[in-house]
Amino acid sequence: MDTINQVSQTGHEVLAAVLGVRGRDREKSLRVLLWRRGRPPQAGRWALPGGQLGATEDVESSIRRQLAEKVDVRQLTHVEQLSVFSAPERVPGRRVVATAFLGLVPCDVDPEIPDDTEWFPVSALPETAFDHGSIVLRARDRLRAKLSYTNLGFALAQPQFTMSALRRVYSAALGYRVSATNLQRVLSRRGLLEPTGGTAPSGPSGGRPAALFRFTGSGLRVTDPFAVLRPPSGEDVRSC
């Protein structure tokens, strides 16, 4: 009990799994931004971007500040807390508690990234440092779940897109085929999609030109709050 309660030098770091859909055509996949450690411990392994929590900032400000060095902040379309990782020996030698985040970037532009960073498919991670591999998987699972019951797709998509481009983005993120037809129906019914009026040129082999769409609004919204056990019609949820 004394050892448990003893005052100790507990460090607090923030880490982010920045996810985005990258790659051309068939190679398109959900990828994560990793950074190659240059010095011990665990030199050569790939780590999540992040760093020490500062004295005058909260965890979200901190991770945004630190990501600004790796990814252009304007590129970050969504940031949310995942969970705390606090196993005593997660960083050997000293006690470091980590607050992990999910960050999302849209799939069109490839932001400038430093030489020691790289995008890796989440399905083929390299040797990761510390517990960072499991943080990436948690981020992937959170993203997949929220794609279903929120409008989070806006954070992965380009500002404008055709339905088949959006289909590829959802397919890569979810890990299975998504039908463009049904995707459009679902997102339209929920009022998340809006035609820009423009069209994309047809490809070299012809085909009807595709209409361009955009997402309405760019903040996270829950679109499917009660899967079952809805409140009775007419009755509202009491605020408490």
Partner DNA sequence: GCAAAAGTGTTTTCCCTACACCCATGG
Partner DNA sequence: CCATGGGTGTAGGGAAAACACTTTTGC
Per-residue tokens: 182: 């049904």
CA nearest 193: which of 221, 217, 220, 164? 217
Helix (H) or strand (E) holding 21: strand 11-22
Which helix (H) or strand (E) is 194 found in, with range? strand 193-200
Does residue 219 bind DNA (CB under 7 A)? no
x/- map, 188-227, a second copy, by CB under 8 A:
------------------------------------xxxx
127 near a second copy, rule: CB under 8 A: no
Region 143-162 residues binding DNA, contact defined as CB under 7 A: 162
Which pairs from 229-236 meet CB under 8 Å and 24+ separation? none
Beta bridge partners, 210, equal 200
59: contact with a second copy by CB under 8 A:
yes
Examine residue 205 and tell whether it contacts DNA (CB under 7 A): yes
208 binds DNA (CB under 7 A): yes
Identify what 121 binds: a second copy, DNA, none; CB under 5 to 8 Å per kind. a second copy
CB of 202 to a second copy, least distance (A): 27
What lies within 8 Å, CB to CB, of 13 at 6+ separation is 50, 51, 52, 53, 96, 97, 98, 99
| Both structure tokens of 22 | 């990258």
Sole binder of a second copy in the list 8, 134, 188, 218 (CB under 8 A):
8
User: Which residues lie near a second copy (CB under 8 A)?
Assistant: 3-6, 8, 10-12, 30, 52-59, 65, 81, 83-84, 86-88, 95, 97, 99, 121-124, 140, 145, 147-149, 170, 174-179, 182-183, 186, 224-229, 231-232, 235-240
